[in-house]
A and B are shown apart, each in its own frame.
Chain A
C-alpha cells in the first residue's frame, strides 16, 4: 500500500488556502475594475463639462464677431458714402463729407474696432477677415479646454476596464476549478488543482499585464 505523500495528505488544506487567496485576488480585481470604470465615467463627465464650457465660449465668440462685423460693415458703408460725397462737385456735399469724416467716421470706427482699426483683419478689397478675427478671439484659458482629450482618456480607461473584466472572469474560472478539485476524487482533484492554479496564475499575469500596458499607453496617467 502506497503511503500518501506530504502534498496529498494536506491537499484539502492547501487547496482551501489557495481558494481563499484566489477569492481575495478576485475581490481585489473586481474592486480595481470598478475603480477604473469609475475613473472612465469621471473623465467622460469632465469631457462633457468642458464641451459645454467650450461651446458656450465659442457661441459668445461667434456672437461677438458677427456683432463686430455688423458695426464694421456700417462703418465701411458710411466711409464709402463719405468718399462719394467728397467726389461730388457740389461744395455743400463736400462740406458734409468733411464734417462726416472729421466727426462721424472716427466714432463709427470706434464701434467697428478691431476689424476697422487693425490692419491684419482688413482684406485688400476693403472687406474684413472674420475668420482671422474669430481665430484670435479665444483666450489661453479657452484654448486649454479640450473635451476630446478627456474623451480619449475616458475611452482608454473604458478599454482597460473591458480587459480587466476578462481578468476577473479568468480568476472566477480558476475558483471553479479549485472548488472542483476540493470535492473531486484523487485523480480528478489533481487535474482540477493544476488547471485552477494555471488559470489563476494566467489571470494574475493578465491583470498585471493589462495594468502595465495601459499605464504606459497613458504615459503614467
Chain B
C-alpha cells in the first residue's frame, strides 16, 4: 500500500493556488473601475453643461416673452387708439353732414373741427403703429386690415426658437444624467466584485476561493454589460 506524502512546501503551494489569478482579476477590476469613473465623469460633465444651458435658455425665454408682451401691449394700444380716433373722425364727419342737411351750419362746423382733431390724432397714430409703418404687417390695399396674426407670429418666433433650444438642452440633460446614473450603477456593481475578490483572497479553502473568484468575475461581466449597453444608448 502506498500513500502520498504531502510535504509542507507542497501544502503551502496548494493553499496559495489561484491567489495570483485573483490579484490579476482585482487589478483588472481596478482598471475597469478607473475607466468607468472616467466615463461617469464625462457623462456627469455633459449632464451639468446641458442642465446649465437649459436653465440659461429658460431665463432667456422668459425674458423674451416678457419683452414680447410689453411690445405687443404697446403696439396694440397704439393701434387701438388709432382705430378709435379714425372712427371718431368718420362719425363726426357724418354728424357734420347730417347737421348740414338739417341746416345746422354752426353745429356742423363744430363737428368738423372735432373731426379734424380726431383725424390729426389718427394720422399721427398711423405713423406710430407698426401695423402701418412696417410693410410686413401693413394692409396690402386700402380695404384690407393690417396683418396682426403675422405680427404675432413674428413676435413669438424668437421665444419659440429659444424654447425649442431649451427643450433640446433639457432632453440632453436627461439623457446624460441617465447615462451617469447607469455608470454609477455599474461602479456599485464593481464594488461588489471587489468584495468578492477580497473574500476569495482571504479564504484558505481553495475551492471556496475559486467559487468566489468565479462569482466576482460574473459580477464584473455584469458590470461590463451595463457599461457597454450604456455606451451604446
Contacts and interface: CB of A to CB of B under 8 A. Distances in A.
B67 A55 contact: no
A59 B64 CA distance: 9
B125 interface: yes
Contacts of A70: 74, 77
A126 B124 contact: yes
B63 interface: yes
A162 B35 CA distance: 12
The A interface is mostly helix, strand or loop, or mixed, namely helix
Contacts of B71: 62, 66
Given A59-B67, A169-B35, A175 B30 contact: yes
A8 to B, nearest CB: 19
Interface stretch (B47-55, B169-177, B206-214, B222-230): B47-55
Contacts of A183: 20, 23
Interface in B89-134: 109, 113, 116-117, 119-121, 123-125, 127-128, 133
A180 interface: yes
A77 B86 CA distance: 13
Question: Which of A77, A81, A83, A127 has most chain B Cβ within 10 Å?
Answer: A77
A85 B117 contact: yes
Contact of A162 (B28, B45, B62): B45
Contacts of B117: 81, 84-85
Contact of B31 (A76, A90, A176): A176
Contact of A158 (B37, B38, B48, B128): B48
Contact of B67 (A62, A83, A126, A169): A62
Interface string A155-174: 10010011001101100110
B56 interface: yes
Given A55-B62, A176-B31, A93 B73 contact: no
Contacts of B120: 80-81, 83-84
B66 interface: yes
A151 B52 contact: yes
Interface string A42-70: 00100110011001001100110010011
A84 B116 contact: yes
Contacts of B109: 90
B59 interface: yes
Chain B contact residues, majority secondary structure: helix
Contacts of B113: 88, 90, 93
A80 B67 contact: no
Contacts of B78: 73
B121 A77 contact: yes
Contact of B41 (A59, A90, A165): A165
B27 A176 contact: yes
Given A51-B56, A88-B113, A173-B34, 20 more contacts: A37-B41, A40-B48, A47-B52, A55-B63, A66-B73, A69-B74, A76-B124, A80-B121, A81-B121, A87-B116, A90-B113, A126-B124, A127-B128, A151-B56, A162-B41, A162-B45, A165-B38, A168-B37, A176-B30, A180-B27
Give 7 nearest A-B pairs by CB, closest first.
Answer: A172-B34, A84-B120, A80-B124, A55-B63, A66-B70, A176-B27, A44-B52
Interface of A: 33, 37, 40-41, 44, 47-48, 51-52, 55, 58-59, 62-63, 66, 69-70, 73, 76-77, 80-81, 83-85, 87-88, 90, 93, 125-127, 147, 151, 154-155, 158, 161-162, 165-166, 168-169, 172-173, 175-176, 179-180, 183
8 contacts: A33-B41, A48-B59, A59-B66, A73-B125, A73-B128, A80-B124, A155-B49, A183-B23
